[in-house]
Structure 1
Amino acid sequence: MERYVRFNNGSKISYGIVNGDQVVELVGDELSHFQETEIIHDLSSLNLLPPCSPTKAVCVGLNYKDTILEPGAKWPVEPLLFIKPSTSLVANGKSIVKWPMTEHLNFEAELAIVIGKEAHLVPEKEAHHYIWGYTIANDVTAKDLQKSDGLWGRSKSFDTFLPLGPWIVSGIDPHNLTITSYLNGEQKQKGNIGDLIFGIEYLVSFISHITTLLPGDIILTGTPGGYGKTLNVGDKVEIEISEIGKLSNQCVECKEAWSMPPRIKEQ
């Protein structure tokens, strides 16, 4: 098992491999042909970034057998997909912003697949060759906007609505991992990756027949135990996946200038 991190290193962004409490800096093409250098950093001293830089995050809805369907929803016969923009990414330990346009945030614990090389029309049996590793994701959602819009684009796409990290783990069997979420220390979700309706290799293959997956792109595989719970300002949400680690972020109020007028509520 290997753990890869991405971090600010002066004026450049570097990758490293975690060795205990230290990080060995890597050189080479992104995600491939990495070579270790003699440069070593203390892990605690680094400003960790999201562990990869995807062109897109392809996300899967309603993908756990224990999902509690909302009124009117049906079980999917094919993966239900949506895309989150790369600008929604935020690193482990950074803040999730509650923007003025929304009044109701939810969080969703998810395993993220990290693509290691260009994937186009990939057969399911070969999908594992295209996976670099796995990390932890939080699919933050403006639940009120999701319901009012009917479509999911706006509710999923705000800046900071995709916490990711803290690192990418390779060399593990991902098919029987435990995934758990906590809100202010209290367990809210618990599931097992083995309960996915559409499995890891199938998702890579299916999505690669729709859009070419590029190195660093991620696939969010869905959330267990129904849906995540409400996230309020001041709350701390932690997502833990066995053999990978823990992703931790706190929700904060927007402090930036906001020029949009208040929402017009239905009469």
Structure 2
Amino acid sequence: MKLARFTVSGVNGILSGIIEGSIVKEFTGDLFGAHTLTGRSFPLGDIRFKAPLDPRHIIGIGKNFAAEGTEKPHVPEMPILFFKPLSTVVGPEDPVLLPHGTEEIRFESELAVIIGKIAKNLSPAEADEAIFGYTVANDFGAFNYFHPEGHWTIGKAFDTFCPLGPVLETEFDYRSARIKAAVNGVLKQDSPMERIITRIDVMISYISRFMTLMPGDVILTGTPAGSEAVRDGDVIDCYIEGIGNLRNQVKAE
């Protein structure tokens, strides 16, 4: 099931809906619980997608893909984790701002996992039960703000640095997914999820040992090789088949 948040010309506010073919059926209520169809529907071509949810937390994992043709490293006992503030979240077609004084700002196409239930001290075998769905993320970072000792949060925290969308897909086999990205139409990233180092079930299990995961938490699962610096005016497309294409243009602030 594909869920979306969107706006429609002439209708106030941000709406929620279920995409069925070329139609979006509006619903109200709890995204992670009971919700009710309103009876209104809109042609898919008439809506403007927003980020598919308002996250509770955004947790990222770094250095989590091995390039194709290389040997995978051992799974680290302590993965590189970081948080992104909620002010980083934007939706499809929203601009990503390049702040003054930043250098080497890179895009990173990623699969984002959305937690759907309270989860604490899960085993890897239990992790999938906590997943509500998936979306596409572009995890931007300003690399000149990465601390040499491994502190990534500042470089990942600038406003607009976490586009999400276009939809939240609840029925998706992430194990067979490919992560792709293009800059101005030129393919830069294209990797299967099998190149991931810390698997998603292991990742969720590990995080749930030190914090209680809650509905609406978003986990960014890492990016393949091919990420590179962007410049004012570049258009970035992040694509995962089965979820969709997330497009954003970067603009100087």
TM-score for both structures, normalised by structure 2: 0.91
The equivalent residue for 1:64 is 65
Cα distance per residue 1:155-179 (max 9 Å; x no partner) = 1000000011001111121101111
SS in 1 for 2:111: strand
Aligned to 1:262: none
Aligned equivalent of 2:46: 45
1:16 equivalent in structure 2: 17
1:149-168 map, 5 Å: 151-168=151-168
* Per-residue deviation, residues 184-211 of structure 1 (Å, max 9, x unmatched): 0111111111221111111111111111
* Matched pairs, number: 249
Which residue in the other structure is 2:224 paired with? 224
Letter in 2 for 1:228: S
- 1:151 maps to a residue whose letter is H
Contact 1:62 1:76 in 2 (8 A): no
> SS state of the match for residue 223, structure 1?
coil
Alignment partners' CA distance in 2, 1:126 and 1:75: 19
Alignment gaps of 5+ in structure 2: none
RMSD over aligned Cα atoms: 2.3
The residue identity in structure 2 corresponding to 1:52 is: L
Q: CA deviation at 1:61?
A: 0.7
Q: Once structures 1 and 2 are overlaid, which stretch shifts more, 210-219 or 10-19?
A: 10-19
Residue matched to 1:124: 124
- Determine the structure 1 residue equivalent to 2:31: 30
Q: Distance in 2 between matches of 1:28 and 1:75?
A: 40
2:211 aligns to what SS in structure 1? coil
Cα distance in 2 for partners of 1:147, 1:217 equals 25
Deviations 1:35-72 (A, max 9, x none): 33311022232232210111211101111122899xxx
The more displaced of 189-198 and 156-165 is 189-198
| Post-superposition offset of 1:11 | 4.7
In structure 2, relative to structure 1, the CA distance for the partners of 1:127 and 1:75 (3 Å cut) is: closer
CA distance in structure 2 between the partners assigned to 1:57 and 1:233 by the alignment:
26
The amino acid that maps onto 1:130 is: A
Deviation of residue 91 (structure 1)?
A: 0.3
- Counterpart AA for 2:193: I
Does residue 191 of the first structure (1) align with residue 191 of the second (2)? yes
Q: Partner of 1:97 in structure 2?
A: 97
Deviations 1:102-139 (A, max 9, x none): 02211111100011122222222121121111100011
Question: CA distance change for structure 1 residues 19 and 120 in 2, over 3 Å: closer, same or farther?
Answer: same
- Residue 205 of structure 2: aligned partner: 205
Counterpart of 2:153 in structure 1: which amino acid? G
CA deviation after TM superposition for structure 1 residue 241, in Å? 0.8
Q: Is the 8 A contact 1:53 1:217 kept in 2?
A: no
Which residue of the partner structure matches residue 87 of structure 2?
87
3-state SS of 2:34 partner: coil
C-alpha deviation, 1:243, in angstroms: 1.3
- For residues 149 and 162 of structure 2, the distance between their equivalents in structure 1, rounded to whole angstroms, comes to 20
Q: Partners of 1:127 and 1:149 in 2: how far apart?
A: 30
Cα distance between partner residues in 2 of 1:207 and 1:66? 24
Which residue is equivalent to 1:234? 233
CA contact (8 A) 2:76 2:198 kept: no
Aligned to 1:251, the other structure's residue is in SS state strand
Between the aligned partners of 2:215 and 2:159, the Cα distance in structure 1 is 22
Q: CA deviation at 1:34?
A: 2.8
Worse-matched range after superposition: 23-32 or 53-62: 23-32
What SS does the corresponding residue of 1:132 show, helix, strand or coil? strand
Mark the runs of 5 or more structure 1 residues left unpaired by the alignment: 255-267
Asked if the contact 2:68–2:191 (Cα under 8 Å) also holds between the matched residues in 1, the reply is no
Q: State the 1:150 CA deviation.
A: 5.0
Q: Secondary structure at the match of 2:206?
A: helix
Q: Helix, strand or coil: the match of 2:167? A: strand
**What is the Cα deviation at residue 13 of structure 1?**
3.6
Question: 1: distance between equivalents of 2:197 and 2:21?
Answer: 35
